[in-house]
Amino acid sequence: MDVTRIGIPAAPTPDAAAGSAGAAPGQASFGQVLKDSLAQVNHLQHEADGAIRELASGGTATLHDTMLTIEKAELSFRLMMQVRNKIVEAYQEVLRMQV
């Protein structure tokens, strides 16, 4: 997993707090970031599957490298599930708000 791509979120600007729609120029929307993260988790899962197949078929993969690939995929999946749980909790909280 490439952690160098993870950036520090920008502080909200007064324009964003005022309710302006859309992301600032040069910044991805929340949906796009979520979509990219899901694609990365999917890619890591496919890499882990390939590493398992390579090890099982007696290829050049070592057990150590295979286990590292599997653990990376598992950790990214767990993180994705925690983000999903927080999103669901936030959605449920919004539904409980009284108008």
Q: What is the DSSP letter of 99?
A: -
Q: Which of 10, 51, 14, 15 has its CA nearest to residue 28? A: 10
The model scores a pTM over 0.95: no
**Cβ-proximal residues to 38 (8 Å cutoff; 6+ apart), any chain:** 80
**For residue 66, what pLDDT is reported?**
94
How many C-beta neighbours within 10 Å does residue 38 have? 13
**For residue 9, what pLDDT is reported?**
54
Query: Domain residues of the chain, as ranges?
Result: 27-96
CA distance linking residue 77 with residue 44, whole number of Å:
9
**For residue 11, what pLDDT is reported?**
53
CA atoms within 13 A on the CB side of 24: 10
**For residue 59, what pLDDT is reported?**
84
CA distance linking residue 13 with residue 51, whole number of Å:
45
Q: What is the DSSP letter of 24?
A: P
Q: Which residues of the chain have pLDDT under 70?
A: 1-24
